[in-house]
């Protein structure tokens, strides 16, 4: 199963990268979202997908799924949500103020001022 | 802190006080206060002659950074004392001269004397330091203060350019010298020069020996204006004349000479040293003397003549190095080269100092230094004329001045190279005296130009800015003293031999015992005498026919000169770095992302391949179920179809679908908390996406369109996906130790009283993570609030 997951994660990363290289801010943020999905699944997969029960001790099972990666992912989900929402509002404000969502039009460095 | 330490640091201390004196006692020229110090220091150092002439030395240590073996250790031996006397002696004369040269009303005297004192202290530090790192520190102090002094009239562009050029070249050399010092310290295990000399010879075959030698020589050559690094010196002539006289003829440019002489006992063990030092010196000698004839500016002539004389001293030091190889029967002959180097060092400081001062007087009293405008000043400036006669004749090597003696000794050493067949150079050896002889002819010519073009012929009073008249007596004192020394050393050279030259030579050649220096004024009709007569005869003939042959200077056009090369290198570096920055820093986020991703792919792929880290192992994997396969397919199809979605609404909804699939994965892989959170968060995210982008007003300029396909983007993203998948597979296949989760599973209820292990980990075992995660959310919320509420428009800024 881990091998299938590795392929899925690889494809998620690929799509995310392709989106992040595009011109529109919206696609870049969708790319970052996909990338965080990929990362979360990667953590879970690397923790092992072998059987076992849900990590709730009341189950009385012989073996449980590894709880540590789950805790890590939970933290990561919340943080990536915070960052994504911030980015979304930033993009929204950029839109409003500058009237474009094209990163190529937003480019510039000191020499272009 | 010993008295010696206070003596060496006293110029720095006085430099702090100078601005105070300048502000408080404005009626008196600040130079008078400064003058006291070098005079006292000269007297102080003078008393050490009795010590060093006995062959003894004085050492004073003060600890500075003991853990790094860096101490402010000062050491007085013959060589150091000779330089210290030159620095303080000529320093006193130069300050006296500058009091009359620089106007109290017009010039920023406080700055001038601060820089000059800084320089004097640094120079004393160089010649008396025993620790290489401390020596380097003072070395850079001289570069810095020289930079400040050359750019003293900083409102002039030429001063700024000259200062920048000298700074770049000398600091370049200084830094490579530091590299050499560090290597030397690594080889010897200490930074103390005496300790290194004491055990030198044991590491001639060390792999760092030759690099260290080359780097240190680079430092010495740049400082002492050796070919091809001499180009900063003529441009440094934009400095006030007292500075040129002090720094660029008598002291700073001799720091490199000092270094070569000081480290000779270490590096002269190998033949390469002999070749590099003597050939660089001879080349500089010829080049400098040849191009001095071309100059039309008095200080330009003197600058090139300084370059050439420094080359002469350097080549003599190189020849002296042969003494370490061929001791025995002809010992004294090799030693003669070192003696000549030291003697000429003293002579050069005296006559060049006086010539610079004379040039400064001419500039001061006529308003120009251009020899094409000058002429016939003999009757107007009789004293200056006398001083120049003495200086120029000594420089040309005419009797009875001291330059004659050192030039004779120079010829003797060069002729010996041929006679003694050192290093199997039977044929090539003839080039040494030949080059020396030709350079001496040119030296004779430019000395005569300096003298006769300025003082004889017809006076062109209409071209001069001022009516020429003799300088005030105060300005004349210093050059008169120096000229008197030129004659004294010329007539009675042996007053120097036991007091200064012998101790200095025995510092350069520590192996030499029973050294006895005796400079005789007349030594019979040897080859040298005929060479000198040849120089005079040919020199006079060439000088008289100067106008017929000086067109040779136009054969090589200006743009092939070393200055043009330097300028074009500077321009190339500037343009090149600008070009690279422009090519790389495009300002578009896409190109930067491409660099980052490409670097990631290359690094990871290379290290996977290089370390053989990739393994495929299916032993420990979980079985593949039907649901998982279906979810995986959904996810793959979903994420790929985002790339082809046309409207932004479609892509947002597909993103939501992918997020819910992730939640389903969490369900299947037995992570209920994750599934819950993921569902909720994905819902909110999609809502936010819709809020931001669906409800946006349609922008007229923007049409909804598919992503255009770009091959390099595709290559990069496939590369990233592939590398991540490979790394995941490889990591999955190699597990080195069991997870620590069993601890959490066992203790969640026992220790923390909770049955949901994930939650217990989040709030109990690893509660700190959660706290800061809350902080992240809080900051994001505040940030969003601020972003929406605070509307500082561009007009209000």
B779–A contact, CB cutoff 8 A: yes
Say if residues B266 and B196 touch (Cβ distance below 8 Å): yes
Placement of tokens 């349609």 in the chain: B698
Q: How many other β-carbons are positioned within 10 Å of the β-carbon of residue B133?
A: 19
Instruction: Work out the burial of residue B454: count CB atoms within 10 Å of its CB; fewer than 13 is exposed, 13-18 middle, 19 or more buried.
Output: buried
**The predicted structure's pLDDT at residue B273:** 86
Query: What residues of chain B lie within 8 A of the CB of A30, using their CB?
Result: 642, 651-652, 655, 689
CB contact under 8 Å between B721 and A19, yes or no, is no
Parts of chain B with a pLDDT under 70: 323-334, 418-428, 468, 511-525, 556-560, 694-705, 793-797
Phi, psi of B58 (to 5 degrees): -125, 140
Nearest to residue B336, comparing CAs of B200, B520, B490, B487?
B520
Specify the pLDDT at position B796: 47
Judge: A54–B671 Cβ closer than 8 Å, yes or no.
yes
Residue with tokens 């000088």, as numbered in its chain: B543
Contact present, B486 and B354 (Cβ < 8 Å): yes
Distance CA B249, CA B352 (A): 6
* ipTM for the complex shown: 0.94
In the structure encoding, which two tokens stand for residue B378, read together?
């003999």
Chain A hits for B615, Cβ within 8 Å:
none
Residue B637 is predicted with a pLDDT of 93
Identify the pLDDT of residue B516: 67
Pairing of strands B58-65, B70-76: antiparallel
Q: Mind telling me how many Å the CA of A46 is from chain B's nearest CA?
A: 6
B715 touches chain A (CB under 8 A): no
Tell me, what's the pLDDT at B329? Answer: 44
Closest approach of A60 to chain B, Cα-based (Å): 11
CB-based contacts of B136, cutoff 8 Å, min separation 6? B174, B177, B178, B181
CA dist B619 and B75 (Å) reads 74
Nearest-10 crossing angle of helices B132-150, B157-188:
180
Neighbouring CB atoms inside 10 A of B106's CB total 7
* Torsion sign over Cα B30, B31, B33, B38: positive
Residue B673: partners with Cβ closer than 8 Å, 6 or more residues away: A70, A74, B756, B758, B759
Whole-number Å distance between alpha carbons of B751 and B748: 6
Q: Per the CB < 8 Å rule, is A11 touching B636?
A: yes
Name the residue among A3, A8, A44 with its Cβ closest to that of B621.
Answer: A3
Burial of A25 (0-12, 13-18, 19+ CB in 10 A): buried
Residue from B596, B621, B758, B762 whose CB has the most chain A CBs within 10 Å, to mutate = B758
DSSP string, B501-552: IHHHHHHH-TT--S------S---S-HHHHHHHHHHHHHHHHHHTHHHHGGG
State the distance between the two ends of chain A, measured CA to CA, in whole angstroms. Answer: 53
User: Chain A closest CA to B774's CA: distance in Å?
Assistant: 9
Are A46 and B731 in contact (CB < 8 Å)? Answer: yes
Question: Secondary structure of B242-254 in the HEC alphabet?
Answer: HHHHHHHHHCCHH
The residue of chain A with its CA nearest to that of B660 is A37
Whether residue B120 contacts residue B242, with contact meaning beta carbons closer than 8 Å, is answered with no
- The answer to whether residue B668 neighbours chain A at the CB level (below 8 Å) is no
**CB contact (8 A) between residue A54 and residue B670:** yes
What is the per-residue DSSP string for B145-159?
A: HHHHHHTSSTTSHHH
* Contacts with B777 (C-beta within 8 Å, 6 or more apart), sequence order: A78, A79, A81, A82
Closest-CA residue in chain B for A105? B588
Mark yes or no for CB contact A10/B677 under 8 Å: no
**B695 part of contact set with chain A, CB < 8 Å:** no
The residue of chain B with its CA nearest to that of A67 is B758
Is the sign of the CA dihedral B702, B706, B708, B713 positive or negative? positive
CA distances from B590 to B121, B260, B586, B642, B715 (A): 55, 55, 9, 19, 14
pLDDT in tens, B523-543: 666 777 888 888 889 888 888
Give the count of Cβ contacts less than 8 A between chain A and B.
Answer: 272
Other CB atoms within a 10 A radius of the CB of residue B296 amount to: 14
CA of B621 vs chain A CAs: smallest distance (Å): 6
Q: What are the residue ranges in chain A where pLDDT is below 70?
A: 108-113
- Partner residue facing A55 (CB), from B618, B720, B758: B758
Inter-chain CB proximity B770 and A44 less than 8 Å: no
What residues in A contact B597, CB-CB < 8 Å? 17, 21
**Cα nearest neighbour of B598 on chain A:** A17
What is B44-70 written as a DSSP string?
HHHTTHHHHTTT--EEEEEEEEGGGTE
Could you tell me which residues come within 8 angstroms of residue B701 by beta carbon, excluding any fewer than 6 positions away? Answer: A99, A100
pTM of the model: 0.83
Exposure of B566 in the CB half-sphere (CA atoms within 13 A): 16
Angle between helix axes B382-396 and B402-420 (nearest 10 degrees) is 10
Cβ within 8 Å, pair B776-A78? yes
The pLDDT of residue A112: 44
Alpha carbons B188 and B203: distance in angstroms, whole number: 8
Interchain proximity B658–A34, CB inside 8 Å = yes
Q: Is B321 exposed, middle or buried (0-12, 13-18, 19+ CB in 10 A)?
A: buried
Residue of B624, B685, B718 with shortest CB distance to A4: B624
The secondary structure element, H or E, covering residue B76 is strand B70-76
């Amino acid at each position: 199963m881990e091998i299938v997951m590795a392929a899925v994660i690889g494809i998620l990363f690929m799509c995310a990268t392709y989106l992040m290289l595009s011109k529109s801010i919206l696609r870049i943020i969708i790319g970052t979202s996909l990338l965080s999905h990929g990362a979360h699944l990667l953590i879970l997969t690397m923790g092992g997908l072998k059987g076992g029960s849900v990590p709730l001790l009341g189950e009385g099972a012989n073996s449980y799924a590894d709880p540590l990666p789950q805790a890590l992912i939970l933290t990561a989900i919340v943080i990536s949500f915070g960052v994504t929402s911030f980015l979304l509002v930033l993009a929204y404000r950029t839109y409003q103020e500058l009237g474009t969502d094209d990163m190529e039009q937003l480019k510039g460095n000191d020499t272009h001022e | 802190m010993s008295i010696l330490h206070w003596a060496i640091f006293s110029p720095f201390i006085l430099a702090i006080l100078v601005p105070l004196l300048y502000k408080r006692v404005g009626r008196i020229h600040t130079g008078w206060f400064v003058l006291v110090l070098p005079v006292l220091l000269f007297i102080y150092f003078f008393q050490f002659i009795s010590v060093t002439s006995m062959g003894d030395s004085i050492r004073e240590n003060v600890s500075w950074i003991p853990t790094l073996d860096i101490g402010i250790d000062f050491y007085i031996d013959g060589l150091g004392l000779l330089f210290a006397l030159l620095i303080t002696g000529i320093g006193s004369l130069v300050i006296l001269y500058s009091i009359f040269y620089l106007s109290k009303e017009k010039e920023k005297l406080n700055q001038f004397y601060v820089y000059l004192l800084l320089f004097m202290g640094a120079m004393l530090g160089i010649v008396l330091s025993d620790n290489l790192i401390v020596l380097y520190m003072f070395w850079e102090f001289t570069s810095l203060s020289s930079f400040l002094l050359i750019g003293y009239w900083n409102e002039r562009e030429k001063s700024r350019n000259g200062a920048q050029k000298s700074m770049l070249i000398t600091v370049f050399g200084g830094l490579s010298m530091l590299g050499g010092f560090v290597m030397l310290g690594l080889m010897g295990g200490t930074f103390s020069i005496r300790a290194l000399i004491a055990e030198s010879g044991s590491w001639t075959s060390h792999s760092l020996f030759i690099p260290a030698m080359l780097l240190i020589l680079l430092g010495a050559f740049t400082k002492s204006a050796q070919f091809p690094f001499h180009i900063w010196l003529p441009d440094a002539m934009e400095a006030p004349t007292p500075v040129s006289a002090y720094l660029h003829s008598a002291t700073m440019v001799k720091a490199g000479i000092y270094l070569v002489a000081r480290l000779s006992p270490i590096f002269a063990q190998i033949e390469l040293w002999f070749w590099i030092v003597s050939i660089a010196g001879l080349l500089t000698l010829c080049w400098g003397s040849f191009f001095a004839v071309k100059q039309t500016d008095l200080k330009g002539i003197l600058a090139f003549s300084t370059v050439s004389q420094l080359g002469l001293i350097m080549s003599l030091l190189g020849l002296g190095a042969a003494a370490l190889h061929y001791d025995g029967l002809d010992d004294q002959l090799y030693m003669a080269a070192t003696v000549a180097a030291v003697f000429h060092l003293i002579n050069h400081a005296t006559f060049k100092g006086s010539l610079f001062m004379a040039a400064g007087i001419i500039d001061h009293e006529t308003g120009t230094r251009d020899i094409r405008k000058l002429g016939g000043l003999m009757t107007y400036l009789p004293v200056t004329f006398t001083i120049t006669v003495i200086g120029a004749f000594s420089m040309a090597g005419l009797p009875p001045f001291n330059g004659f003696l050192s030039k004779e000794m120079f010829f003797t050493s060069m002729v010996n190279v041929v006679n003694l067949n050192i290093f199997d150079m039977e044929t090539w050896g003839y080039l040494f005296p030949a080059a020396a002889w030709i350079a001496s002819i040119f030296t004779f010519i430019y000395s005569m130009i300096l003298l006769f073009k300025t003082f004889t012929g017809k006076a062109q009073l209409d071209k001069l800015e001022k009516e020429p008249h003799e300088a005030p007596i105060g300005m004349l004192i210093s050059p008169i003293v120096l000229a008197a020394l030129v004659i004294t050393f010329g007539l009675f050279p042996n007053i120097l031999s036991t007091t200064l030259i012998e101790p200095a030579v025995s510092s350069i050649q520590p192996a030499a015992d029973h050294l006895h220096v005796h400079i005789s004024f007349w030594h019979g009709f040897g080859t040298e005498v005929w060479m000198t007569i040849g120089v005079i005869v040919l020199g006079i003939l060439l000088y008289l026919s100067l106008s017929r042959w000086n067109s040779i200077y136009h054969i090589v056009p200006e743009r092939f000169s070393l200055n043009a090369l330097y300028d074009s290198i500077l321009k190339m570096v500037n343009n090149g770095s600008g070009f690279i920055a422009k090519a790389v820093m495009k300002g578009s986020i896409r190109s930067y992302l491409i660099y980052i991703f490409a670097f990631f792919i290359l690094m990871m792929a290379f290290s996977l391949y290089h370390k053989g880290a990739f393994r495929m192992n299916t032993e420990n994997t979980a079985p593949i179920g039907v649901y998982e396969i279906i979810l995986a397919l959904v996810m793959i199809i979903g994420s790929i179809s985002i790339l082809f979605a046309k409207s932004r609404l479609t892509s947002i909804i597909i993103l939501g679908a992918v997020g819910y699939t992730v939640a389903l994965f969490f369900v299947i892989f037995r992570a209920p908390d994750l599934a819950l959170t993921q569902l909720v968060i994905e819902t909110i995210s999609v809502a936010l996406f819709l809020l931001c982008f669906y409800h946006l007003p349609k922008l007229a300029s923007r049409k909804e369109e598919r992503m255009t396909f770009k091959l390099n983007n595709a290559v990069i993203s496939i590369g990233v996906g592939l590398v991540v998948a490979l790394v995941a597979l490889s990591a999955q296949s190699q597990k080195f130790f069991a997870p620590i989760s069993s601890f959490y599973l066992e203790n969640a209820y026992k220790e923390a009283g909770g049955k949901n292990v994930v939650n217990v980990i989040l709030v109990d075992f690893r509660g700190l993570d959660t706290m800061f995660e809350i902080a992240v959310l809080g900051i994001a919320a505040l940030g969003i609030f601020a972003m929406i509420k605070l509307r500082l428009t561009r007009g209000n800024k």
